């Protein structure tokens, strides 16, 4: 299938011995000058890159306490070394979280710590693992900081909570500031600025797609479920990843949200201005770009005059929404204070189920046995509901309400310890397919366990990136694409609508008549 | 007063000053550096009290490390807990009369010295034996361990091999404390011990030992999970707000 070997799935996840240079390379495709400039970065590697990079690093340590503490505090205990799915899947030593941090930390130590400044005078910087910045190091950063999905698994297990995701974000921002950007992320952010979403889907095409979906649903269940776009005066603005508009299995999730809203009688609309829940500004560590992307949500909410904002299924989008939106573009005092801003679609659905507002027939999903993949950003960077850990509980309760057959994957691969899909953090691009396939190994291993032990047939996910990534890499491990499913597809498929009820009651009347 | 006394007294004051100002500066720097975004590692507490509990579990029990790796946890915890007892026990050299609870821990404190050394030997062994940890180790990481092990061993030796004249040690330390310098005991074991301790104080603010104050400022551990309820905004970020259109 490709010019690398797919890791073999064993009975449990083996921790490999560190190897040098397995994943060395030139990294993903670089952003073109116009991709860069649209985001306010230099078009290509600037002449004075060395000084600018060093100063940018100092600037970031002054603006982000986390970064500063993380760069100072690591004791090289090694507790994180076996926690990264990319290390487990590639065995490349530089994919151990602390080793990845050290790529940046070594330079920080050389230029920005008293010990480094002192020791380098005697050429003894090696003593503390400090390094002078060179072009090779720039390339190494570019390569290895795009082998981190910013999943935060390492941060759960570090005694000081050192989060390599923060280091990766900072490194990518330093790189952008000297003109070395990644094509995938920066081009996409540009599309959001220009058109409104990551896929570059303009308003007419979006309207068309939604209309097509409405027809499809009506054909399917005989009910006119609407997908309103840009309608003013509705209660809820739904912001969802643009992949939901046509990628598989995402779109079935979107149909599920629409069915839920319809059955619960909630008034809602999508927005063509904010037709993207995703926010790649986070992946490149740029507060300014993240804010600029988020502004569209605020603007749409104001313009459409909604009372609530609800986000669709997406991991990093929910992180930006839950944890950052209020900070970036709040306050949201113009919305209905009775609801948290924003809400996750699963919070809405869960609440409706709890209050008995949905008419559910879980046997509709009896042909499947489910497991659930906790998205890293949802599990480790957000919450759902009022209680800590709700982000793990609510999706499972919803799935169990609409499916009769459910099994969790092994304890140490779910919840806060969940393994990333392997494609998060802005690396969901074909030029990084090798790291994506290899990084999926731990999750595939866990899936294999429940497939073999519990007869699991499908894995449900609540993230656009997870869904795309799995659909792509799962065949490398001998599974099939259609084994990945949106949680709201399960919900949508289990909902029973009036017309269906009357149809089936007609049927039963007929049978009764026959009996007579 | 002998040259040796003056030398060590000066070094001791100097090292203490470097430690206090160095660490004080870093704490001040951490305190004034904003954390512009809410990034607690979830699930996180939703109240301040919850954060205090989380932090206590981390600092006292090394909870994350326990989840992570039982060997590092056991050696690391042995070392740190023993270090605490040893430090508290050492208070007796700086007070007259000795506080009752310092007297109370004296017997335990003595054995803690062994536990401390064993914990450190465990950690240094891991550093050498486990390939992953060996890869991420710099010479300074070994030196730091060797330094503290040597402090522990010289300390134990003073008690169990070549007993040092504790009375004159105490007179010297008390003299330092009350700015009335007394002659330093010229016992070489003691001089080595105190030289190593002075080195440790000197490197503390410039090394990874900053993890001690650092952990309290780690946003992934010390933030409350309430971003929807309360708008969290750093000063520099608030300035960007002003440029927003709506
Ligand atoms: S667990 Fe934390 S302190 Fe230990 S090596 Fe990893 S990043 Fe450093
Ligand atoms: S954030 Fe995730 S991908 Fe990045 S180093 Fe940590 S465990 Fe690996």
Lowest mean pLDDT among A205-214, A219-228, B105-114: B105-114
Q: Is there a contact between A78 and B136 if contact means CB atoms under 8 Å apart?
A: yes
Give the closest of B130, B207, B233 to A327, CB-based. B233
pLDDT averaged over every residue in chain A:
95
pLDDT digits (tens, 9 = 90+) for B51-107: 999 999 999 999 999 999 999 999 999 999 999 999 999 999 999 899 999 999 998
* pTM for the model: 0.95
**Chain A environment of B228 (Cβ under 8 Å):** 322, 326, 340-342
For an interface test with B, the pick among A16, A72, A125, A386 (most B C-beta atoms closer than 10 Å) comes out as A72
Distance in Å, CA B50 to ligand 2 centroid? 26
Residue A1 predicted with pLDDT over 60: no
Q: Is the CB of A156 under 6 A from ligand 1?
A: no
Estimate to the nearest angstrom the gap between the alpha carbon of A333 and the chain centroid: 28
- At residue B218, the 3 state secondary structure works out as coil
| Contact status, residue A507 vs residue A500, Cβ threshold 8 Å | no
**Chain A environment of B237 (Cβ under 8 Å):** 287, 327
Q: Is A136 exposed, middle or buried (0-12, 13-18, 19+ CB in 10 A)?
A: exposed
More confident residue, A461 or B243: A461
pLDDT digits (tens, 9 = 90+) for A153-165: 999 999 999 999 9
Q: Is there a contact between B207 and A323 if contact means CB atoms under 8 Å apart?
A: no
Give the closest of A76, A126, A388 to B136, CB-based. A76
Q: Is there a contact between A80 and B68 if contact means CB atoms under 8 Å apart?
A: yes
Mutate to test the pocket of ligand 1, among A98, A104, A108 (most ligand atoms within 8 A of CB): A98
Q: Which of A425, A431, A423, A2 is nearest to A183 (CA)?
A: A431
Number of alpha helices (DSSP H) and beta strands (DSSP E) in chain A: 23, 7
**Closest listed ligand to the CA of A80:** 1
Residue A95 predicted with pLDDT over 60: yes
Interaxial angle between packed helices A65-73 and A164-177, expressed in degrees from 0 to 180 and rounded to the nearest 10: 110
DSSP output for B143-204 = HHHHHHHHHHHHHHHHHHTS---HHHHHHHHHHHHTT---PPP--HHHHHHHHHHHHHHHHG
pLDDT bracket for residue A509 (50, 70, 90): very low
**Mean of pLDDT values over A29-56:** 97
pLDDT digits (tens, 9 = 90+) for A438-454: 999 999 999 999 999 99
For an interface test with A, the pick among B41, B66, B223 (most A C-beta atoms closer than 10 Å) comes out as B41
**Closest listed ligand to the CA of B211:** 1
pLDDT bracket for residue A256 (50, 70, 90): very high
**Closest listed ligand to the CA of A377:** 2
pLDDT of residue B244: 81
| Contact status, residue A164 vs residue A156, Cβ threshold 8 Å | no
**Chain A environment of B244 (Cβ under 8 Å):** 291, 295, 329
pLDDT of residue B44: 98
Report ipTM (2 d.p.). Answer: 0.96
Q: Measured between CA atoms, how close is B175 to chain A, in angstroms?
A: 32
Residue A140 predicted with pLDDT over 90: yes
Q: Where are the alpha helices (DSSP H) in A23-161?
A: 33-38, 49-63, 65-73, 85-90, 97-112, 114-119, 135-144, 153-157
Residue A504 predicted with pLDDT over 70: no
Q: Measured between CA atoms, how close is B40 to chain A, in angstroms?
A: 7
- At residue B219, the 3 state secondary structure works out as helix
Q: How many CB atoms are closer than 10 A to CB B172?
A: 22
**Chain A environment of B235 (Cβ under 8 Å):** none
pLDDT of residue A501: 53
Q: Which residues contact B112 (CB under 8 A, 6 or more apart)?
A: B81, B82, B83, B85, B86, B89
Q: Is there a contact between B132 and A291 if contact means CB atoms under 8 Å apart?
A: no
pLDDT digits (tens, 9 = 90+) for B126-180: 999 999 999 999 999 999 999 999 999 999 999 999 889 999 999 999 999 999 9
Residue A6 predicted with pLDDT over 90: yes
Q: What share of chain A is helix, strand, coil (3-state, %, to 5)?
A: 55, 5, 40
Q: Is there a contact between B34 and A298 if contact means CB atoms under 8 Å apart?
A: no
pLDDT of residue B30: 98
Length of chain A measured in residues: 516
Q: Measured between CA atoms, how close is B104 to chain A, in angstroms?
A: 31
Mutate to test the pocket of ligand 1, among A105, A148, A152, A159 (most ligand atoms within 8 A of CB): A159
Q: Is the CB of A194 under 6 A from ligand 1?
A: no
Q: Measured between CA atoms, how close is B120 to chain A, in angstroms?
A: 12
Give the closest of B64, B206, B218 to A157, CB-based. B64
Q: Measured between CA atoms, how close is A425 to chain B, in angstroms?
A: 15
- State how far the Cα of B212 lies from the Cα of A209, in Å rounded to an integer: 56
Mutate to test the pocket of ligand 2, among A70, A86, A379 (most ligand atoms within 8 A of CB): A86
Q: Which of A364, A363, A358, A393 is nearest to A260 (CA)?
A: A358
Give all domains of chain A, ordered by start, each with its CATH number.
33-181 (1.10.1060), 190-494 (no CATH)
Q: Is there a contact between B225 and A388 if contact means CB atoms under 8 Å apart?
A: yes
Mutate to test the pocket of ligand 1, among A70, A97, A103, A163 (most ligand atoms within 8 A of CB): A97
Q: How many CB atoms are closer than 10 A to CB B125?
A: 13
**Mean of pLDDT values over B188-216:** 97
Provide residues with CB under 6 Å of ligand 2. Answer: A 83-84, 86, 97, 100, 148-154, 164-165, 420
pLDDT of residue A263: 97
**Mean of pLDDT values over A119-140:** 97
E strand or H helix at A486: strand A484-486
Q: Is A502 exposed, middle or buried (0-12, 13-18, 19+ CB in 10 A)?
A: exposed
Estimate to the nearest angstrom the gap between the alpha carbon of B31 and the chain centroid: 19
pLDDT of residue A508: 45
Lowest mean pLDDT among A344-348, B163-167, B220-224: B163-167
**Residue showing tokens 């040259």:** B3
Q: Is the CB of A305 under 6 A from ligand 1?
A: no
pLDDT bracket for residue A502 (50, 70, 90): low
pLDDT of residue A406: 98
Q: Is B143 exposed, middle or buried (0-12, 13-18, 19+ CB in 10 A)?
A: middle
Q: Is the CB of A79 under 6 A from ligand 1?
A: yes
pLDDT digits (tens, 9 = 90+) for B38-52: 999 999 999 999 999
**Mean of pLDDT values over A112-130:** 97
Distance in Å, CA A28 to ligand 2 centroid? 17
Residue A516 predicted with pLDDT over 50: no
A366: region left, alpha or beta (phi > 0 left; psi from -120 to 50 alpha): alpha
**Chain B environment of A86 (Cβ under 8 Å):** none
Number of cross-chain residue pairs from A and B with Cβ atoms under 8 Å apart: 219
Q: Which residues contact B113 (CB under 8 A, 6 or more apart)?
A: B82, B86, B152, B155, B156, B159
Q: Measured between CA atoms, how close is B187 to chain A, in angstroms?
A: 32
Q: Is there a contact between B30 and A383 if contact means CB atoms under 8 Å apart?
A: no
Residue A133 predicted with pLDDT over 90: yes
pLDDT of residue A499: 67
User: Domain B3-245 maps to which CATH number in 3.30.70.1450, 1.20.950.20, 3.40.50.1980, 1.10.10.10?
Assistant: 1.20.950.20
Q: Is there a contact between A96 and B64 if contact means CB atoms under 8 Å apart?
A: no
Determine which residue's CA is closest to atom 3 belonging to ligand 1: A74
Residue A113 contacts B, CB cutoff 8 Å: yes
Estimate to the nearest angstrom the gap between the alpha carbon of B187 and the chain centroid: 27
Residue A29 contacts B, CB cutoff 8 Å: no
Distance in Å, CA A503 to ligand 1 centroid? 61
**Mean of pLDDT values over A206-230:** 96
Nearest residue of chain A to residue B123 (CA atoms): A77
Q: What are phi and psi of B38, to 5 degrees?
A: -80, 110
Please state, in angstroms and as integers, the Cα–Cα distance from residue B229 to each residue in A117, A204, A325, A329, A338, following that order. 44, 37, 11, 14, 11
Interface of A with B in 426-485 (CB under 8 A): none
Residue A380 predicted with pLDDT over 90: yes
Q: Is the CB of A96 under 6 A from ligand 1?
A: no
pLDDT of residue B242: 80
**Closest listed ligand to the CA of A87:** 2
For an interface test with A, the pick among B132, B133, B232 (most A C-beta atoms closer than 10 Å) comes out as B132
């Amino acid at each position: 299938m490709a010019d690398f070997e797919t890791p073999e799935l064993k009975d449990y996840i083996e921790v490999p011995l560190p190897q040098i240079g397995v994943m060395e390379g030139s990294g993903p495709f670089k952003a073109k000058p116009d991709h860069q400039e649209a985001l306010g970065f230099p078009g290509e590697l600037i002449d004075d890159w060395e000084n600018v990079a060093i100063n940018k690093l100092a600037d970031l340590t002054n603006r982000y306490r986390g970064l500063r503490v993380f760069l100072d505090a690591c004791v090289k205990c090694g507790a994180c070394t076996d926690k990264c799915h990319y290390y487990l899947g590639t065995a490349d030593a530089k994919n151990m979280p602390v080793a990845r941090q050290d790529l940046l930390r070594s330079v920080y130590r050389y230029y920005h710590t008293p010990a480094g400044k002192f020791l380098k005078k005697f050429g003894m910087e090696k003593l503390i693992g400090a390094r002078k910045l060179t072009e090779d190091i720039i390339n190494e950063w570019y390569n290895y900081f795009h082998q981190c999905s910013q999943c935060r698994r390492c941060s759960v297990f570090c005694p000081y909570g050192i989060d390599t995701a923060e280091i990766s974000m900072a490194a990518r921002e330093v790189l952008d500031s000297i003109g070395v950007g990644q094509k995938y992320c920066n081009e996409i952010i540009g599309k959001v600025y220009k058109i409104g979403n990551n896929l570059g889907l303009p308003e007419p095409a979006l309207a068309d797609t939604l209309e097509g979906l409405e027809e499809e649903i009506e054909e399917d269940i005989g009910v006119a479920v609407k997908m309103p776009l840009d309608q003013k005066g509705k209660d809820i603005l739904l912001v969802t990843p643009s992949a939901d508009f046509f990628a598989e299995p995402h779109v079935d999730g979107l149909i599920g949200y629409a069915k839920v809203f319809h059955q619960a009688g909630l008034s809602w609309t999508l927005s063509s201005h904010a037709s993207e829940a995703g926010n790649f500004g986070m992946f490149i560590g740029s507060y300014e770009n993240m804010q600029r992307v988020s502004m569209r949500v605020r603007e749409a909410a104001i313009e459409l005059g909604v009372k609530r904002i609800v986000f669709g299924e997406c991991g990093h989008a929910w992180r930006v929404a839950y944890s950052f939106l209020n900070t970036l573009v709040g306050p949201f005092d113009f919305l209905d204070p009775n609801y948290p801003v924003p809400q996750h679609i699963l919070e809405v659905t869960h609440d409706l189920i709890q209050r008995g507002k949905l008419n559910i027939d879980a046997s509709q999903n009896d042909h499947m046995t489910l497991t659930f993949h906790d998205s890293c950003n949802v599990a480790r960077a957000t919450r759902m509901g009022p209680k800590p850990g709700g982000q793990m509980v609510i999706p499972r309760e919803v799935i169990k309400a609409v499916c009769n057959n459910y099994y969790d994957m092994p304890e140490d691969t779910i919840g806060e310890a969940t393994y990333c899909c392997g494609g998060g953090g802005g690396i969901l691009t074909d030029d990084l397919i090798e790291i994506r396939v290899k990084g999926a190994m731990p999750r595939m291993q866990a899936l294999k366990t429940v497939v073999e032990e519990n007869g699991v047939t499908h894995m449900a996910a609540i993230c656009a990136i997870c869904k795309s990534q799995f659909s792509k890499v799962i065949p490398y491990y001998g599974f099939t694409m259609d084994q990945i499913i949106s949680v709201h597809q399960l919900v949508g498929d289990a909902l029973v609508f009036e017309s269906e009820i009357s149809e089936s009651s007609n049927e039963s009347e007929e049978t009764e008549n026959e009996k007579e | 007063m002998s040259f040796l006394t003056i030398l060590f007294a000066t070094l001791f004051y100097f090292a203490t000053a470097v430690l206090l100002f160095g660490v004080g500066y870093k704490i001040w720097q951490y305190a004034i550096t904003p954390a512009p975004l809410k990034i607690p590692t979830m699930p996180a507490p939703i109240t301040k009290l919850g954060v205090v509990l989380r932090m206590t579990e981390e600092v006292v029990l090394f909870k994350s490390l326990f989840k992570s790796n039982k060997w590092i946890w056991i050696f690391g915890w042995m070392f740190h807990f023993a270090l605490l007892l040893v430090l508290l026990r050492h208070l007796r050299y700086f007070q007259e009369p000795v506080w009752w609870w310092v007297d109370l821990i004296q017997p335990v404190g003595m054995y803690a010295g062994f536990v401390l050394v064993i914990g450190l030997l465990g950690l240094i062994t891991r550093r050498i034996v486990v390939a992953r940890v060996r890869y991420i180790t710099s010479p300074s990481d070994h030196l730091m361990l060797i330094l503290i092990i040597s402090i522990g061993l010289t300390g134990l030796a003073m008690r169990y091999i070549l007993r040092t004249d504790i009375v004159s040690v105490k007179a010297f330390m008390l003299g330092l404390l009350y700015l009335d310098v007394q002659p330093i005991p010229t016992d070489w074991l003691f001089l080595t011990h105190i030289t190593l301790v002075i080195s440790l104080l000197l490197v503390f603010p410039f090394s990874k030992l900053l993890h001690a104050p650092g952990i309290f400022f780690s946003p992934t551990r010390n933030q409350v999970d309430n971003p929807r309820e309360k708008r969290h905004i750093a000063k520099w970020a608030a300035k960007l707000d002003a440029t927003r259109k709506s």
